[in-house]
Amino acid sequence: MLKSWLGALAIAVVLSGCTKHRVNDDLDTDVASTLEVVNHHWGDVDIYVVHDGQRTRVGSVTASGEESFVLAKSMTSAGGSLQLVAHAVGSNGAISSETIASRPGGMQITWTLENNLTRATLAFY
């Protein structure tokens, strides 16, 4: 009886070592990506995300205000890229960010818009 039990245990140990291990198991792709916009501009701005050739409006930020937006997973799909666009409401002023290589798993982007939109800064991690 003890021999058969030890044999079964040995087989279970050997078989458990045969399972496949995935690379990046610690990468949680269900975590939402966020965009924080800090607006130092004198007017309200509309914010857009350009992803995979498609432009999507994500919201507005009031003059001298801050807003946080949750980005849809389709905007941060692996292997894609995205670009931010801010358009000053009621004027011709607009700015586009540089292109960002997107990735799933909780990307955080902070875009600070200055009174002169061409002096905006972008941070992402």
Closest CA to 63 of 30, 88, 41: 41
Residue 50, pLDDT score: 95
Q: Is 60 exceeded by the pLDDT of residue 20?
A: no
Instruction: Pick 72 or 114 by higher pLDDT.
Output: 114
Any idea how long the chain is?
125
- The whole-model pTM stands at 0.74
Mean pLDDT, the chain, integer:
82
Per residue in 73-121, pLDDT tens?
A: 888 877 788 999 999 999 888 999 999 988 777 889 999 999 999 999 9
Give residues with Cβ within 8 angstroms of 64, minimum separation 6.
39, 40, 41, 42
CATH superfamily, region 25-124: Domain of unknown function DUF5300 (2.60.40.2890)
Instruction: Pick 99 or 27 by higher pLDDT.
Output: 99
Find the distance separating the first CA and the last CA of the chain, reported in whole Å: 58
Q: Which residue type is seen at 119?
A: R
- Which whole number is the average pLDDT over 32-61? 94
Instruction: Identify the H or E element spanning 5.
Output: helix 2-16
Question: Hey, CA dihedral for 58, 81, 53, 95, is it positive or negative?
Answer: positive
Listed by start position, the domains of the chain span 25-124
d(C-alpha 69, C-alpha 111), whole Å = 11
